[in-house]
């Protein structure tokens, strides 16, 4: 847990020598607590104080970089148990489990399908983050060959045999994989291998306690690219285990559990959904069904949305249908829910249109108007910037009915004739059919 300024002050020399650039040790302590200064600015702090402050200033959960070099996926690094306390930083990686005993052509075809999978949600595109390759064949050559065939996707290598992992790891040098295989009995050897070959090492164990003991042993070897993979017999046990791990890590700063977790869901999509909710940093699931994966991605998007930032669309001119020079120009704000309410209603009208989305910082029409983010100046500037005047031969702009009060000012600022549209998007089809000429 973060130390307060007064707690930090106890470890400082208290000479007020000003070498740190601040007038007193207390001022320096306060700046450290607010993360506005770094510990190395004080040259006189003794070794014991330095050690105590450095370990207290470490984040409670490590952030790990996994996958293809220069395009790594970040895992972990969370600081709160509940999103509304601040935000969650890294959504769990969604990983599809494949067996290395699949025939070569079938395996390659599955990898190709996984690579091409795309999911669109509220204007954002998502794909599958990684593949978990399981050494069911028990054959090191086959395992390595399948890993090499999938090397363009971030990989999780699952095997009981360290020799097979080493062989597979050697053929996928363009990435940092996660390796699942270490446990209480073999952890020293596996940690050495992970350190030498630059892997993330996932620690298995029959329960959280065993996983914590093993992780502690590996930390003592100086290796910290660790993930935690506690075993669970059922969904209740799994949730209890993952929740306890986050509580001990974030509330008690218990270092052996200060690493992202892996949720092994098998083909159980409900379990995978629970892992997305609480608290896996990586969810490994055995399905390639688009509809099941879409459900998980949608859930993940909802859980891992920053509550301080509304979902918003890019502010620009959108084409709805195939608009031409006679098509209406409709303006609204960039709150994604507003966009996805208005756009389908224009489509329902069967009248192609130009939809101008202004930057309202993700607020809806009335909220943005009240906050002065959707006003005559913003609308006039957006009209000019988007270049729609060159695309149509009229100068008529439809504004939302809720801001009818802006009509005269927008006309004055833009030189366009303003038509007041309906208040509700659902009335747009009728409005366009009856009013647009």
SS3 364: coil
Q: Which of 40, 44, 85, 106 is the binder for ligand SF4 (CB under 6 A)? A: 44
Question: Helices 187-197 and 208-220, interaxial angle, to 10°?
Answer: 60
C-alpha dihedral sign at 54, 56, 57, 61: positive
CA distance 431 to 422: 7
Q: Residue 45 CB, nearest distance to ligand SF4 (Å)? A: 6
111 near ligand SF4, judged by CB under 6 A? no
320 near ligand SF4, judged by CB under 6 A? no
19 near ligand SF4, judged by CB under 6 A? yes
Residue 152 near residue 175 (C-beta atoms within 8 A): no
25 near ligand SF4, judged by CB under 6 A? yes
CA 234 to chain centre: 27
CA distance 72 to 68: 5
Closest CA to 175 of 109, 223, 131, 224: 131
Total of residues contacting ligand SF4 (CB under 6 A): 13
Question: Helices 290-303 and 269-277, interaxial angle, to 10°?
Answer: 20
φ, ψ dihedrals at 80, nearest 5°? -130, 155
φ, ψ dihedrals at 90, nearest 5°? -130, 115
φ, ψ dihedrals at 184, nearest 5°? -60, -30
What are the structure tokens assigned to 389, written together? 């005047």
228 near ligand SF4, judged by CB under 6 A? no
Q: How many CA atoms lie within 13 A of 50 on its CB side?
A: 10
Q: 80 exposed, middle or buried (CB, 10 Å; 0-12, 13-18, 19+)? A: middle
CA 41 to chain centre: 34
15 near ligand SF4, judged by CB under 6 A? yes
10 near ligand SF4, judged by CB under 6 A? no
Residue 357 near residue 318 (C-beta atoms within 8 A): yes
> Which of these ranges, 10-18, 51-59, 106-114, 165-173, lies near ligand SF4 under the rule CB under 6 A?
10-18
Task: Rank residues 28 and 339 by Cβ distance to ligand SF4 and give the closer one.
Answer: 28
Q: Is 262 left (phi over 0), alpha (psi -120 to 50) or beta?
A: beta
Residue 299 near residue 276 (C-beta atoms within 8 A): yes
Task: Rank residues 33 and 410 by Cβ distance to ligand SF4 and give the closer one.
Answer: 33
Task: Rank residues 8 and 428 by Cβ distance to ligand SF4 and give the closer one.
Answer: 8
54 near ligand SF4, judged by CB under 6 A? no
Q: Residue 55 CB, nearest distance to ligand SF4 (Å)? A: 19
Closest CA to 351 of 421, 420, 428: 428
What are the structure tokens assigned to 307, written together? 């509550």
Task: Rank residues 20 and 242 by Cβ distance to ligand SF4 and give the closer one.
Answer: 20
Task: Rank residues 16 and 87 by Cβ distance to ligand SF4 and give the closer one.
Answer: 16
Residue 211 near residue 228 (C-beta atoms within 8 A): yes
20 near ligand SF4, judged by CB under 6 A? yes
CA distance 268 to 287: 9
32 near ligand SF4, judged by CB under 6 A? no
Integer Rg of the chain from CA: 28
Q: Which of 8, 11, 28, 165 is the binder for ligand SF4 (CB under 6 A)? A: 28
Task: Rank residues 32 and 365 by Cβ distance to ligand SF4 and give the closer one.
Answer: 32
6 near ligand SF4, judged by CB under 6 A? no
> Which of these ranges, 8-16, 344-352, 368-376, 391-399, lies near ligand SF4 under the rule CB under 6 A?
8-16
Task: Rank residues 56 and 277 by Cβ distance to ligand SF4 and give the closer one.
Answer: 56
Q: Residue 15 CB, nearest distance to ligand SF4 (Å)? A: 5
Q: Which of 1, 4, 10, 18 is the binder for ligand SF4 (CB under 6 A)? A: 18
Q: Which residues between 365 and 394 bind ligand SF4 (CB under 6 A)?
A: none
Residue 60 near residue 76 (C-beta atoms within 8 A): no
12 near ligand SF4, judged by CB under 6 A? yes
36 near ligand SF4, judged by CB under 6 A? no
Q: Which of 1, 4, 10, 17 is the binder for ligand SF4 (CB under 6 A)? A: 17
> Which of these ranges, 9-17, 71-79, 269-277, 356-364, lies near ligand SF4 under the rule CB under 6 A?
9-17
Q: Residue 4 CB, nearest distance to ligand SF4 (Å)? A: 16
Task: Rank residues 39 and 140 by Cβ distance to ligand SF4 and give the closer one.
Answer: 39
Task: Rank residues 31 and 147 by Cβ distance to ligand SF4 and give the closer one.
Answer: 31
**Interface residues toward ligand SF4, by CB under 6 A:** 12-13, 15-20, 22, 25, 28, 42, 44
């Amino acid at each position: 847990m973060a130390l307060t300024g007064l707690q930090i002050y106890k470890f400082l020399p208290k000479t007020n020598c000003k070498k740190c650039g601040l007038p007193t040790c207390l001022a320096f302590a306060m700046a450290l607590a607010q993360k506005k200064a770094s510990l190395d600015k004080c040259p006189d702090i003794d070794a014991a104080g330095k050690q105590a402050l450095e370990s207290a200033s470490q984040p409670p959960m490590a952030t790990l970089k996994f996958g293809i070099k220069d395009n790594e996926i970040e895992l972990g690094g969370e600081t709160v148990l509940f999103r509304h306390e601040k935000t969650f930083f890294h959504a769990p990686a969604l990983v599809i489990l494949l067996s290395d005993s699949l025939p070569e052509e079938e395996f390659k075809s599955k990898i190709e399908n996984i690579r091409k999978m795309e999911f669109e949600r509220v204007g954002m595109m998502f794909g599958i983050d990684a593949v978990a390759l399981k050494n069911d064949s028990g054959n090191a050559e086959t395992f390595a060959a399948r890993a090499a065939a999938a090397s363009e996707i971030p990989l999780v290598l699952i095997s009981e045999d360290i020799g097979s992992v080493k062989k597979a790891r050697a053929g996928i040098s363009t990435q940092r994989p996660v390796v699942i295989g270490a446990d209480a009995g073999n952890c020293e050897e596996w940690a050495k291998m992970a350190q030498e070959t630059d892997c993330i090492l996932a620690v298995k164990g029959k329960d959280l306690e065993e996983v914590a003991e093993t992780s502690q042993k590996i930390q003592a070897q100086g290796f910290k690219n660790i993930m935690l993979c506690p075993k669970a017999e059922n969904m209740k046990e799994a949730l209890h285990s993952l929740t306890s791990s986050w509580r001990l890590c974030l509330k008690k700063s218990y270092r052996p559990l200060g690493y992202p977790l892996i949720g092994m869901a098998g083909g159980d999509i409900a379990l995978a959904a629970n892992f997305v909710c609480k608290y896996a940093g990586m969810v490994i699931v055995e399905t390639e069904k688009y509809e099941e994966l879409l459900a998980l991605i949608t859930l993940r998007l909802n859980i891992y949305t920053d509550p301080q930032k509304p979902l918003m669309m890019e502010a620009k001119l959108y084409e709805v249908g195939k608009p031409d020079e006679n098509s209406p120009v409709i303006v609204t704000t960039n709150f994604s829910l507003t966009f996805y309410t208005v756009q389908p209603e224009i489509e329902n009208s069967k009248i192609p249109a130009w939809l101008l989305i202004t930057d309202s910082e993700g607020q809806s029409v009335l909220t943005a108007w009240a906050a002065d983010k959707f006003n005559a100046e913003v609308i006039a500037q957006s009209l000019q910037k988007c270049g729609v005047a060159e695309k149509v031969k009229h100068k008529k702009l439809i504004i939302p009915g809720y801001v009818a009060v802006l009509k005269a000012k927008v006309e004055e600022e833009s030189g366009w004739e303003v038509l007041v549209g309906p208040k509700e998007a659902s009335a747009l089809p009728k409005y366009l059919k009856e009013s647009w000429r």
